Amino acid sequence: MPETFIRRLTTNLMGYRLLAIQNRLHNIFFSPLLWPCFQYGMLAMHTIMNLILIRAQSWGIPLNLCLMLIFVQIGFFFFEKNCFETAAKIYVSACNYRDEIGNVRSTFFRKVKTSLRPIRIEVSACYYFKTSTFVTYENALVDYTIDGLLAVQ
């Protein structure tokens, strides 16, 4: 096996362990409060903007303000999507790195693979961001928008 490949894996492993320690500290200190507040805050703002845009005609909101809200909402949508997808990509790339280490025919690296946990961004103790989290979030957004429309009537 080429020595440069083993050296690269070992160097990456040291960096991975440092990232895992930082990730663990982040999950201990920030995930119980920061991520849920951020996620529900985004959901609340997006739901309120949906309600305003849907009810704009009956409330007499000017057209230029509605167009501005539409552009802000589109930008907000892409921001949300990038946040969720980036958090999910961290988990996927950590799993790929772990699998890459496990493919080496060395017993040491196989033991290392079993000891590595994938780096992931947790939201409290309930769940972590996966690639399907954004779709679930958008479903919740539609549900809250419908509930808000029914409550406003």
pTM of the model: 0.67
Under a CB-based contact definition with an 8 Å cutoff, are residues 118 and 91 in contact? Answer: yes
Q: How many residues are given for the chain?
A: 153
Q: In the block, which residue shows the tokens 């972590």?
A: 128
Q: What CA–CA distances, in Å, run from 107 to 17, 112, 114, 136?
A: 19, 9, 11, 40
Alpha helices in the chain (DSSP H): 3-29, 34-54, 56-59, 63-102, 107-115, 133-152
**Environment class of 47 (CB within 10 Å of its CB; exposed 0-12, middle 13-18, buried 19+):** buried
Average pLDDT, 10 consecutive residues per value, the chain (153 residues): 66 77 79 78 87 83 87 87 82 81 75 76 69 80 88 80
Look at residue 3 in the predicted model and tell me its pLDDT: 66
Look at residue 1 in the predicted model and tell me its pLDDT: 53
Give the number of other Cβ atoms within 10 Å of residue 101's Cβ.
21
Look at residue 96 in the predicted model and tell me its pLDDT: 82
